[in-house]
Structure 1
Amino acid sequence: MTREKSKKEKPGNTDALNSSPPGIDITHKKFRIGDYLAEKIIKGVAFLSITIIILIFIFVFRETLPIFGSKTVEKATTSVNSTPEAQETYGDVTDKPANAVTEVQETYGDVTDQPAKEEVQETYGEVTDSVGNAEKQVVQSTDSASVNSASDATYTVSAGSGYDDNQSALKTLATKDWIPVSDKPRFGILALIIGTFKITIISMLFAAPIAILAALYTAVFANKKMKEIIKPTIELLAGFPSVVIGFFALMVMATFLQEVFHYETRLNAFVGGIAMGIAAIPIIFTITEDALTAVPKSFYEASLAIGASKWQTAFFVILPAATPGIFAALLLGIGRVFGETMIALMATGNAAQMDLNPFTSVRTLAATIGAEMAEVVFGDTHYNVLFLIGSLLLVFTFILNAIAEFYVKGKLMKRIQGK
């Protein structure tokens, strides 16, 4: 009987558990002005950030569009007439009175009333009168012709960068010559693109192995105390200003590498690539270490259980499982190097050359914008081409981020996990 009573009393206990103390209504949420304001501020900052990014895209592409149009450069015309213009005067001009005192010119030596002798010109060879008369006639005829033509002549002075329209400048974009300041400038961005990719490849070949191996050691082999030292130290490098890394490459690294490899050009793509690789190491290391740490511990334990060593587990189990995160880290590192400006300005030599030699000077897209944007004329063809380069950088960075976000974290991650 007691068991039956206890069973009957159990369903009734749910009401006692769900009941709340008297005087407290847990279904009613109290309005707090602080929480409300914090929520609205966070939402406003998020929408403001998105709006600013969209406005930046609109501004850059709006300044780029004129290069694809047929905008004719304005020309200033100046007519030259035979009637002389009145000279500009300053102050009142009055007629000179008749009884005005004539100014006595300062003379040196005795002044006589005798007329000066006609100066005999120095001649070389015999000069005949026929030749002199002929020369006088030629001079008179040319002078009269120039005066008559000058009365109706119209001179045109073209403004801008030497092209009548932007279509002419657009045809030079695929060339290898970057000469923006000239009578006929050439805006060949092909050399700039090749220089940018050369720097990016060198920097990734240097930074990727170091960052991935350091992350693998930190995530798998290092103890807790060592991990607390290595990770903050490498991440601290991300806070170094680019100008500091560029100055270090300019003053220390360039001389050291030249003495080691014995190349001619002190500042070149190799020096710039190593310096940019140093700047990219913290990004690749941080994301790779997070990806390796996120691998389930069961993978590690199962590998050790079947007899694999710790090194075999790290390289053949943990590392492949974290491939999507490592790939995303490499893409973000490439984006960091691709848009770097100060290091490229200080350590690459800034010479637009089209070759595959890593020990020659190069010029990148971002360095070109940083070096020339402050000196261009607003609305000029050179101005529009620089914004075209900026548009290329934006598009490339956007594509990298899109691949890292959607493909790596979506399809590639599911494929590796077998989903």
Structure 2
Amino acid sequence: MAKASVSPSAEERLILTKKNRRWDEVRGRSLVTICAVIMIAATIAVTVFLAQKGLQSFTVNNINPIAYLTSANWNPTGGENASFGIFPFIFGSLAVTFLSALIAAPLGIGAAIFMSEIAPKFGKKVLQPVIELLVGIPSVVYGFIGLVVLVPLLRDHFPGIGFSLFAGVIVLTVMILPTVTTIATDAMRSLPNSLRQGSLALGATRWQTIRKVLIPAALPSLLTAIVLGMARAFGEALAVQMVIGNTRDIPGSIFDTAGTLTTIVTLNIGHTTYGSIENNTLWSMGLILLIISFLFIFVVRYLSGRRKI
């Protein structure tokens, strides 16, 4: 006769359930830990490799690092008279970054205030999805539009040849505006509603509430949005390369041509011999880009730690 199956007792089922949950916890924790280790290892590997290559200009080729950073004479193909001064490119990178942030910050924060405080339903349903779609547009599209529309427009109505620092600033402003707006909108909407209600209950108008209560409360997050936009602008290469002119001189005005660290690296790295002095100096530019990008990250971390709400 076949033996009747014995069902597990309630205590056994409870023990089995606890074991399964514990095993799921171990698997989930292990998976997350592995992902974190891979990310940390990749970051360290990129940093070490770039540092090793970037420092060869100073350790192997004996280039003076002070002259490399402060000299305005860039002539890597000059033979015995070759010179490697990247100050014009550092100046160009910082100029387009700060000028584009200077324009994008008030526009982005103003749009965020409108979407979150003035017309919250319309902003959430219509404006914010449209702005978020702009983030996904490839940078080459922005650069191409700047090349065929913006550059001829500047050539016809402003001094210069159209290719200029101003063209790069406008393109970068349009590129980072969705980033600044989206993060600023999230910051404004994350504020507790008690701030608004308390201010209005004390007799403040809606604009007074926005200007004197909400903006100061969200200020660290708003500054974080601006810095993240600047970080994207600083590392952009292709779109800026198509409109800025890519010259080795310091621009005398905003309508003059200029060059940035990213544009010079992308233009010249494919035309150099691996391990040559010019190739090493371009790797050094990449190291400088990485260091400045780290500075942006540290600023973001500092601002995030100062959030009041």
- Fold agreement, TM-score > 0.5: yes
1:329 alignment partner, one of 217, 221, 225:
225
1:178 corresponds to which of 66, 74, 77: 74
CA offsets per residue over residues 196-235 of structure 1, 9 Å max, x none? 1111122112211111101111111113244221111111
Which of 59, 63, 72 is equivalent to 2:53?
63
Which residue is 1:214 aligned to? 111
Superposed displacement of residue 236, structure 1: 0.8
TM-score by length of 1: 0.67
1:203 is aligned to 100
* Structure 2: stretches of 5+ with no match in the other structure: 1-9
- Identity over the aligned pairs, expressed in percent? 31
Q: Name 1:31's counterpart in structure 2.
A: 20
The residue aligned with 1:51 is: 41
C-alpha displacement of 1:23: 6.5
1:263 corresponds in structure 2 to 159
Q: Report if the CA contact (8 A) 1:214-1:285 is conserved.
A: yes
Give the Å deviation of 1:271: 0.7
Using the size of structure 2 for normalisation, the TM-score is 0.89
Could you say what secondary structure the match of 2:70 adopts? coil
Q: Contact conserved, 1:212 with 1:285, CA < 8 A, in 2?
A: yes
Is 21-30 or 317-326 further displaced after alignment?
21-30
Tell me the distance in 1 between the aligned counterparts of 2:90 and 2:124: 39
Considering only aligned residues, what root-mean-square deviation do their CA atoms show, in Å? 2.2
1-structure distance, mates of 2:197, 2:266: 52
| Rounded Cα–Cα distance in structure 2 between residues aligned with 1:366 and 1:226 | 35
Tell me which amino acid in the other structure corresponds to 1:30: K
Find the partner of 1:283 among 163, 169, 179. Answer: 179
Q: 1:327 to 1:173 in 2, by over 3 A?
A: closer
* Bigger proportion of residues as helix: 2
* 2:139 is the counterpart of 1:242: yes
Does residue 183 of structure 2 align to residue 193 of structure 1? Answer: no
1:252 and 2:114 are equivalent in the alignment: no
Paired amino acid for 2:191: V
Which residue identity does 2:20 align to in structure 1?
Answer: F
Q: Does 1:359 align with 2:255?
A: yes
Query: Which deviations, in whole Å up to 9, do the C-alpha atoms of 1:229-278 show, x marking residues without a partner?
Result: 11111111111111111001111122223334x22221101011110111
In structure 1, which of residues 274, 294, 313 is the aligned counterpart of residue 209 of structure 2? Answer: 313
CA contact (8 A) 1:67 1:170 kept: no
1:403 and 1:172 map into 2 onto residues whose CA distance is: 26
**Aligned length in residues:** 298
Residues 276-321 of structure 1 deviation map (CA, whole Å, 9 limit, x = unaligned): 1111112111211111111121111111112221122112211111
Q: Which residue identity is paired with 1:177?
A: N
